[in-house]
Amino acid sequence: MKTTEQKRSRKFMLMAVKLSQEGMRKNKGGPFGAAIVKNNRIVGRGFNRVTSSNDPTAHAEVVAIRDACKRLRTFQLDGCELFTSCEPCPMCLGAIYWARPKAVYYANTRKDAARIGFDDKFIYDEINKSITRRRYKLKKVNLKEAKGPFNEWQKKNNKTKY
């Protein structure tokens, strides 16, 4: 017999899966969907829109985070849960950490995604390399003027911290 929590998780995960199918069937992007829930109510939805929007950051989780933040009028998802049809990629995981939901649930794994052509292993491997050994070289430009906005921010009295 399923617990109330299992039924609840299933309900919201089915919504994430439904969103993944919707986006894919409309040729909006890959088969990924996400739903954000607060107080047992869906407050954000998203499916992958990478190819239809020409935006490599338009993954389902990022789209759902943007939707939820807009609806809730906040930049953090305190008290929210994210249900996603697949284990988040490194980019989405970063966005999730910045959004700060209280929990993340996923269905398919990164290995499942790799089997259908969405392999993030390269990115995971790159993150673990030293900055000098990565494929894309990050080159520091020494510019004293760059510190100006940082110093101004540090002294700013009416800033919104995040």
**What residue spans of the chain are helical by DSSP H?**
4-25, 50-53, 60-72, 90-99, 110-115, 121-128, 147-155
pLDDT at 1 over 80: no
pLDDT digits over 3-24, tens only? 999 999 999 999 999 999 999 9
Alpha carbons 71 and 77: distance in angstroms, whole number: 11
Q: Is residue 61 among the annotated active site residues?
A: yes
pLDDT digits over 107-154, tens only? 999 999 999 999 899 999 999 999 989 999 888 999 999 999 999 999
Q: Are 84 and 32 in contact (CB under 8 A)?
A: yes
The amino acid present at 88, given as its one-letter code, is P
Residues 33-45 have a mean pLDDT of 98
Q: What is the pTM of this model?
A: 0.92
Q: One of 5, 22, 61, 87 is an active-site residue; which one?
A: 61
